[in-house]
Copies of this chain bind each other. A is one copy, B any other.
Amino acid sequence: MRDVARAAGVSQATASRVLNGSIRNVRQENVDRVLAAAAELDYTPHLSAQAIARGSTNTAALVVSGVDDPYFSSIAGGVTEAAEAAGLIVTMAVADRSPERELQIVRTLRGMRPRAIILAGSRIDDPGTRDALAQELDAYREAGGSVVLISQHDLPFHTVSIDNYGGARQLARALVGLGYRRFAMVRAHVGLKTSRDRCDGFMDGLGEFNIDIEERFVVKAEFNRRGGSAAARELVRRGLDGTELVFAVNDVMAIGVMTAFRDAGLVPGQDVAVAGFDDIGPAVDVVPELTSVTVPLRRVGLHAMELALSDDHASRIVPVSTNVVLRGSTPRR
């Protein structure tokens, strides 16, 4: 920038004014000269320098637990869209591996002094790590940052809350309404609150009709497609034994379940019904189309970013409702 100023024959202060900041108090002639010089020298403002001088960045950080997963990539899509609209650059980190990793990521990200940190799908449940995370986030907010959680922690921060419990409960009711009585469930490990809420909702929904699921028909697996397949194989191994419908706590798992069933010679929707949760795009590409619970993922991302930018100091909770969609994978019995 010094070079630009020199080339334009003005002071650096003036150059700064026209290149960024308030153009209005600069004589037109100088504006032009500076702009010309900048173009000539192919000048790009050094964002870090700006950040340090201004005391604030135009960055937002997003932590997901996997980009490959349509669930997160849809949310990421919403977040980036909103960020872009607000003129923010988004930095994305994948915490997949472990809670420790997530904690470390947040710590690093904090160093960038982003305007906001958005956490989607954290898997932290271990009290120790969880407190450490909370403290880290708190310190960040203390320093002026804005924190948004997407449907997970019960921590005192802005939260976009997906109605996992309610959606699953509605789903259970709807399925019973279709005539199903004997269920199996594919879930993730207990540490994952999203999975837990969906299970609880589903169970309670069935409970309304005095239906229960036997222990042996509840199988835990990884929270992804592979996990779904593995769980389905496990169910087949244990013996489906009259099970009419398998509920998987998310669509990618449900799709894995369907594929594994097919591989085992069972026709999904016919021999055994399958239902999932999230209503991700591919849900309608499989055969039969997957019954699920719609979660407006992209919108969740948008909301998260909006929340992040609204400088409400009180930690708000934005609820996002879910909606059952019945499709071919759960025909009326």
Interface residues of A (CB under 8 A from B): 42, 44-49, 51-52, 57, 59, 66-68, 70, 73-74, 76-77, 80-81, 84, 89-94, 107-113, 139, 225, 255-256, 258-259, 262, 281-282, 284-287
Q: A93-B89, A286-B286 are in contact. Are A48 and B44 (CB under 8 A)?
A: no
Q: List 14 additional contacts besides A59-B91, A80-B93; criterion CB under 8 Å.
A: A42-B139, A46-B111, A48-B113, A52-B52, A67-B67, A67-B80, A77-B94, A81-B94, A89-B91, A90-B92, A92-B92, A285-B285, A286-B286, A286-B287
Q: Is the CB of A94 within 8 A of B89?
A: no
Question: Contacts of A59 on B, CB cut-off 8 Å?
Answer: 91
Q: Is the CB of B281 within 8 A of A68?
A: yes
Q: Is the CB of A84 within 8 A of B94?
A: yes
Classify the interface of chain A: helix, strand, loop or mixed: helix
Cβ contacts A to B, 29 pairs, < 8 Å: A44-B107, A46-B111, A46-B113, A47-B111, A48-B51, A48-B113, A59-B91, A67-B67, A67-B73, A67-B76, A68-B74, A68-B281, A73-B73, A76-B92, A77-B94, A80-B92, A80-B94, A84-B93, A84-B94, A89-B91, A90-B92, A91-B92, A92-B92, A255-B285, A259-B285, A262-B287, A282-B285, A285-B285, A286-B287
Question: Contacts of A67 on B, CB cut-off 8 Å?
Answer: 67, 73, 76-77, 80
Q: Is the CB of A89 within 8 A of B73?
A: no
Closest CB of chain B to A280's CB: distance in Å?
A: 10
CA of A262 to CA of B256, assembled, Å: 21
Question: Contacts of A77 on B, CB cut-off 8 Å?
Answer: 66-68, 94
What 5 pairs between A and B have smallest CB-CB spacing?
Answer: A48-B48, A287-B287, A48-B51, A47-B111, A73-B73
Q: Is the CB of B89 within 8 A of A47?
A: no
Residue of B nearest to A268 (CB): B287
Q: Is the CB of A47 within 8 A of B112?
A: yes
CA of A281 to CA of B49, assembled, Å: 42
Question: Contacts of A109 on B, CB cut-off 8 Å?
Answer: 89
Question: Contacts of A107 on B, CB cut-off 8 Å?
Answer: 44
CA of A80 to CA of B90, assembled, Å: 14
Q: Is the CB of A46 within 8 A of B52?
A: yes
Closest CB of chain B to A268's CB: distance in Å?
A: 9
- Our pick among B48, B66, B111, B285 for the contact of A45 (Cβ within 8 Å) is B111
Q: A262-B287, A286-B287 are in contact. Are A68 and B73 (CB under 8 A)?
A: yes
Closest CB of chain B to A236's CB: distance in Å?
A: 18
Q: A77-B67, A80-B92, A92-B92 are in contact. Are A47 and B259 (CB under 8 A)?
A: no
Closest CB of chain B to A62's CB: distance in Å?
A: 8
CA of A256 to CA of B286, assembled, Å: 11
Closest CB of chain B to A114's CB: distance in Å?
A: 10
Closest CB of chain B to A266's CB: distance in Å?
A: 13
Q: A94-B84, A225-B281 are in contact. Are A44 and B286 (CB under 8 A)?
A: no
Question: Contacts of A76 on B, CB cut-off 8 Å?
Answer: 67, 92
Q: A46-B52, A94-B77 are in contact. Are A89 and B70 (CB under 8 A)?
A: no
Q: Is the CB of B90 within 8 A of A90?
A: no
Residue of B nearest to A84 (CB): B94
